[in-house]
Structure formats: C-alpha cells, structure tokens
Chains A and B, each alone.
Chain A
Amino acid sequence: MSYEISFISILEVIITLIIALFIGVLIPGIERKYVQARIQQRIGPPVTSSGLWASIKFLYKENIEPNSPAPGLYKAMPILCFIVVLAIFLAVMPYNYQFMAFSSLIAIVGFLKVEEIAYVLMGSLSKSVMSVNLRFPDHAKGSIRQGLLVSSIEDISSSRSLRMIIFGSFPLYLALFIPAVLSKSIYLSDIVAYQQAHGPFLFTLAGLIGAVIFFIGYMIILNEYPFSIIKAKSDVIEGPYMELASKYRSFVYVTRGFLIFTLGLVFCVLFLGVPPVLVSWKFILCVIVSLILPVIMAAISAFSPIFTNKQLYPTVLTSSAIGVLAMVIALF
C-alpha cells in the first residue's frame, strides 16, 4: 500500500500531530493517577494536572533567568528537543516514507542522539543556586578542605548524560536495528512492507526479544525510574532542567509527553508493521500501544528504587548482550 503526499495527507499529519500532542501531555497524568497512585493505594493528582495543566500554567509564569554562561543556548535546548521529536514523528508517518533518507533507522537514531546531546549541553550550561549557596567554612568543627574546585550538581548531571549516550542508550539502538536485520533494510517503508507480507516481527523470537530490549531502552532514554540518574532527586534533583522556568519548562513537559507517544509509534512501525494512518484502525492500535508502553513503564518505576552504577552497568550490559543475541537470531 502506497501513501501519496496530498493536501488531505498533510491535513491528516497535522491532525495526527494535534492528537499526539494532546495524548502526550495526558500521559504523565495517566501514569501518576491511574498507575502509580493506584499501586500506592492513594487518590493521586487529577489526570490533567501533571502534563496538560502544568504545561499551560507554566506558559503564563514569569521567567527566571538561568545562571548560565550561555543563557540563550540553554533556553533554546527544550525547543531543539521538541523539533527533534517532531522530526521523529514525521519520519514514522507513512506519507514521508518516500523520503528514504529521512524515514530510515539511521535518521531516527541520529535524531535521538541529538535529543540526548541536548541533555549534556543543558547540564553543562546550567549552574543553579542549589549548589552554590552558603559558601562558608565550618568554624565550629573547622572545615576539612578549603579552596577546592566546586562543581555544580548540573555538572554531575551533564557527565551522567554523556555516560548514558556512550552506553546507556545502547539497548534502544540495538533494538531499533533488529527489525532492520529481519527485513534486510534500514528504511521504514521496507520494514512495514515486509511485516505486512510476513506478519509482525513481535511474533518472531528475535522480534519479541527486540521488543523487550526496546522497552528497556525506551525507559532509559525517557529517564524514567529506575534509570533516571540524570535527574535523581537524591542528588542532582531536576538535573539539566533545573533552571528552565516558564514557557521553557512548559516545552519540557510537552516534549516529554510527545516523545513518549512518538516512541510508541516507532514501536508500532518497527515491531507491528503498523504505521499511524489517521482514518483507519491502525491509528487506534498505535494509540493503544503508545499508551500501554508508558503504563507498563509507570508500573515498573513504581516498584523500583533508582539505580546507581552498581545496578545500571549490569542491567545495560545484560540488555545489550540479549539485544546482540536477538540480532544474531534475526540473521538466521
């Protein structure tokens, strides 16, 4: 089945985008209210408050200038992230499959890498008041060390983001390429066509393992507990986002929800062979899958403490090894 670009198709993409944004901002609320709060036997916040109303509310808040060497660049990062997620969203839309380079796994990996690098930049560009105040020596006990290099907690966050780029997101990228190995093509159009002819990859052994690995990578790239080391409340607090206020914080919320939804669409395309076509059952399936993934993620995060290196390294290494195994299985 071919999808041609026309006025109708452009309109469909725009409507799909609006629906994606709307569902995206509702996802944090669904996670908090209907998953985590239920697990914790409490009422929880209103479903619209965590994502939707928070995003709208922050639009009207007064901005606080970040303590950054390049405040403009720092504030531009959430917008860059949004553009990147938008690009991934457009890449999975079937009408764009004719732009082969754009609708390929290489492009999706590249876009995700830009999003990850944005965290490194944000962390290194922010030096919030949380780690610079009250620089006094302890006269009562006598300060044990003085005159050291003082690092901000965002610096830690930045170095952790870099570490996540190097190895943390490895499972996701391995999982992305398992459908490519199965279909012998990196282009989304070929991957979808192959699955429409031979059935979804999810029901093959390699595809099933790949889907599990994709999910682990999905949690890692979304910085969700237990993998949220770049914004751990016990040390770096909000990490790279710390000094983003007002409309910039609003962008962060919208982008996060949008990314959750978009990665759900990527999963549908790669493992179910179902592209998001608005006026069909396929779109409903895509929405359901895009909601199931964050619901499972929220349930897992409700039962997990945050990982430190001691837990993170073995988890990532094991997931990557299983991902490689799935790829080997896919080759045969």
Chain B
Amino acid sequence: MEEKKAKKQEIIETEIQMGTVHPAALEPYRVRFFVEDEIIKDAEITIGVNHRGIERIMEGLPVEKANMLTEKICGICSNSHTWNSVRTAEKGLGVEIPDRALYIRVIVGELERLHSHLLYLGHGCETLAHETFSMRVFYIRETIMDLLGMIGGNRVQYGCSIIGGVRPRCELDDNRIRRILDGMDTVEKNVADFADRFIKDSIVASRISGTGYIPQEQALKLAVSGPTLRATGVKRDLRTDMFEYDNFDYEVITQDTCDVKAQLLMRVLEIFESIKIIRQAIRDLPEGKITDRSWEMVDTGIIESYIEVPRGTLYHSYAIEDGRVRHSIVRTPSMTNIGAMQYACIDNHITDGQLCIVQCDPCFTCSDRAIEVYDTNNNKLDKSILQSNIH
C-alpha cells in the first residue's frame, strides 16, 4: 500500500484567486496568489479574457485602415499604436516624413506619456487606497486630456499619425501652441506640488518603501522593458535609438531602490522630462507641410518597428501585399512585464499584491493576443467543436 504522505503544498499553502473581475484591477485578468499567513509566496497572472483578435482583423485590410484600427488596441496609448503601425508602413515603403510632422508626433507622443504616467500615479494611489491623492492626480491629468482633445479632436482616440505625416486636424497654430505651453506650466507646477506632498507623506512612504522589490538582475532576466526596467537602475530607453528624438535633449531617468517607491518616483521624474521635450519641440517646431502624400504603395516583406511608449517597448510588424496588411503581429510592453509583476508580488502582504502588479503599469487588455479553449476534461477544443456549440 502506498504510503500516505501529505504534500507540503496541500497543507500549508493556500491559493487565493482574484479576478477576473476585481475592483482593484482596471482590467479583467486573473491572479492566483499562493499565500502563507497572508504573505504571498508565489503568484500567477493569467490573461486572455478580453481577446478581441485585432491582429486577425487587420489581416487583409488596406494599410491605412489597419493603422486606424491599431488605435483601438489601447485606450491609454492609442497614439503609440497608430504611430508605430504607421512607422512600420513608412519604414517598408520608404516614406519621407516632413520635419514638422515628426515634431508634432513627438509632441503628441510625449503628451500621451504625460497622461499615461499620471493615470499610473492615480491608479497607484487608488490601489494604496489613498483616494485624495488619486483624485488630485486625475485632476492634474485633465489638463493633458484637454490638450490632446484640442489637438486630435478626441480626448482618448486622437489618431494623429497617418502614412507620410500627421492628420491636417493636428496642425499646431499659434493659439494651440500657446495653450500647450500654458498647459505645460500648469502641469509642471501641479505635479511638483503633488510630488512634494507625496514624498513627504510618512504613511504613504511606509506603504511603498521596500514593497514590490524587483532586483535589477531579475528584471533583466525577465526582459522587463520601459520605466519598469529603468526603476531598477538600468539606463535603457528606446527613445535614444529613435530618429524622431535625435534633436531633443533629455535625460534617461533611473532609480535604484527597485521597489514601488522607485516606480512611482520614476514616472514623476519622467513627467518633467516629457515636459522638457514638449517645450523643446515647440521652440524648434519647423515650418512647412505636415503631410507628404507623394509616396506609392508597393509590396514589402515583413517590416518591424520598435518604439518606446509610456509603458515600455512596443513592437509592430507586418508585410504589405497589394496595399493590404499581411501577417500582423503586435506585442505590447505589458506582455514582457508580466513576469516582473508575478515576481514583485512574492514576499509581500496580500493587501500589497495588487499594488505590486500595478507598479509595473499593466495593460493586459492590450496584451491579449491569443486564446485557447479547453473543456472541463482539460481537452483542447478546436474551431469546429466551438462552432457547433454556438447557439
């Protein structure tokens, strides 16, 4: 008779599932915390409940239409997706972009970074259950949202980039430039005030210091990207490799404490750098046209483009055949940061679990790329079985 032996896991480990719907999470995803006395010993994040199949829909669409569709991937970095998708086509087609259009793209890209980082700070404060700080940050963010609405016509889906430049709607006249500069002054002052209060708050400091620690070696091993990586002390920012940013002077911010505090401060400091870039772009904004429509559509092989977006490195890739998109692949920064989110939770209190995930600025809905369906006996269901079960 086989000896009965209690497995360690079954006795002392308890699993707590959160999600796929949870008020602390902005999006649907499931996280399994494996805990001992409310201390997380391991975590598993599973996404895939909001798959929309955008890459599949893009297949066979005219390139311009597919570019517009990429804007729907994310509500936070909608411009980044359009920008990178357009950039992919421009790279393949060899399109020359007017300098003024490049500058406008940078301005909109940095405004998007501002609103994304402010959303991150607001969500972080909300996860800390500090409602007042959260409200304050969202109040500051409104200025940026209004500016984006002024430039693109919408607050969220402002669709600035098109192949060969930017939409005529996004042209910056003197009035708009003045409003942007005024907005930057306001945001800079308000963020500085907020940061001052936030850093000096001893209770908040006690919650965020040492929480969600991701050591630098682990971050590199997990291929973390963007501000999440830079908060571990790695000076890596893809903007330094992007030709659009060649004429701008800015610092790549890093932090070295590798915890939630570092992640939050990282974003605050990057906000000031973004404001610096926007001011430079407006000061040096070249005259001239904003769209070059002299390009011709040709067939291309697989084209790839990487850009630095607010959350990390964004990858777009497709080929063009008869003016239509083929073999589209989109990889968002959150996809590479999921490992870090799981790692960050370990050895933290369960109340800090969501904070450890949120510190990596997740956008799971944008990362949902594929689904597999299994029946209750754990057998993978193929398409025909699924179709026969649809009523």
A residues engaging B (CB < 8 A)? 36, 39-42, 130-141, 143-145, 147-153, 156, 159, 225-226, 228-229, 232-235, 237, 302-311
**Interface of A (DSSP majority class):** loop
CB <8 Å contact, A235 and B131: no
A-B contact pairs, 27 of them (CB 8 A): A36-B131, A42-B135, A130-B21, A130-B22, A131-B18, A134-B19, A138-B44, A138-B46, A140-B370, A144-B34, A144-B42, A147-B9, A148-B14, A149-B13, A149-B14, A150-B16, A151-B14, A153-B16, A233-B23, A233-B24, A235-B18, A305-B125, A308-B207, A309-B38, A310-B349, A311-B203, A311-B206
CB <8 Å contact, A148 and B9: yes
Q: A139-B372, A302-B132, A308-B349 are in contact. Are A237 and B22 (CB under 8 A)?
A: yes
A56 to chain B, nearest CB (A): 25
Q: A40-B136, A144-B42 are in contact. Are A234 and B14 (CB under 8 A)?
A: no
CA distance A222 to B10 in the complex (A): 36
A54 to chain B, nearest CB (A): 17
Q: Per-residue CB proximity of B48-84 to A under 8 Å, as 1/0? A: 1100000000000000000000000000000000000
Q: With A226-B129, A235-B354 given, name 7 new contacts (CB 8 A).
A: A40-B131, A41-B139, A136-B46, A149-B10, A234-B351, A305-B128, A309-B38
Cβ-defined partner of B132 (8 Å) among A39, A139, A306:
A39
B374 within 8 A of A: yes
- The list of the 5 closest CB pairs from A to B, nearest first, reads A306-B129, A305-B128, A40-B135, A305-B130, A148-B15
Q: Per-residue CB proximity of B349-388 to A under 8 Å, as 1/0? A: 1111111000000000000001010100010100000000
Cβ-defined partner of A156 (8 Å) among B16, B48, B49, B136:
B16
CA distance A9 to B21 in the complex (A): 52
Cβ-defined partner of A235 (8 Å) among B20, B24, B125, B380:
B24
- B18 surroundings in chain A (CB, below 8 A): 130-131, 153, 235
B210 to chain A, nearest CB (A): 9
A121 to chain B, nearest CB (A): 20
**Interface of B (DSSP majority class):** mixed
CA distance A131 to B136 in the complex (A): 32
B236 within 8 A of A: no
Residue of B nearest to A39 (CB): B132
CB <8 Å contact, B351 and A150: no
B270 to chain A, nearest CB (A): 23
B275 to chain A, nearest CB (A): 23
CA distance A163 to B10 in the complex (A): 24
B174 to chain A, nearest CB (A): 32
- B130 surroundings in chain A (CB, below 8 A): 303-305
CA distance A277 to B10 in the complex (A): 59
Residue of B nearest to A304 (CB): B203
Interface centre among A39, A42, A159, A304 (most CB of B within 10 A): A304
CA distance A152 to B204 in the complex (A): 28
Q: A137-B378, A305-B204, A308-B352 are in contact. Are A233 and B129 (CB under 8 A)?
A: yes
B143 to chain A, nearest CB (A): 14
Q: A132-B17, A150-B14, A308-B349 are in contact. Are A234 and B136 (CB under 8 A)?
A: no
CA distance A145 to B17 in the complex (A): 13
Residue of A nearest to B130 (CB): A305
CA distance A262 to B199 in the complex (A): 38
B30 within 8 A of A: yes
Within 8 A of A (CB), among B338-358: 349-355
CA distance A39 to B135 in the complex (A): 10
CA distance A132 to B349 in the complex (A): 21
Interface centre among A39, A145, A153, A234 (most CB of B within 10 A): A234
- A135 surroundings in chain B (CB, below 8 A): 17
CA distance A226 to B13 in the complex (A): 28
- A303 surroundings in chain B (CB, below 8 A): 130, 132
B334 within 8 A of A: no
B127 within 8 A of A: yes
- B17 surroundings in chain A (CB, below 8 A): 131-135, 150
- B378 surroundings in chain A (CB, below 8 A): 137
CB <8 Å contact, A237 and B23: yes
CB <8 Å contact, B131 and A302: yes
- B355 surroundings in chain A (CB, below 8 A): 234
Residue of B nearest to A131 (CB): B17
CA distance A52 to B355 in the complex (A): 33
Residue of B nearest to A226 (CB): B203
CA distance A36 to B127 in the complex (A): 17
- B15 surroundings in chain A (CB, below 8 A): 145, 148-151
CA distance A210 to B144 in the complex (A): 48
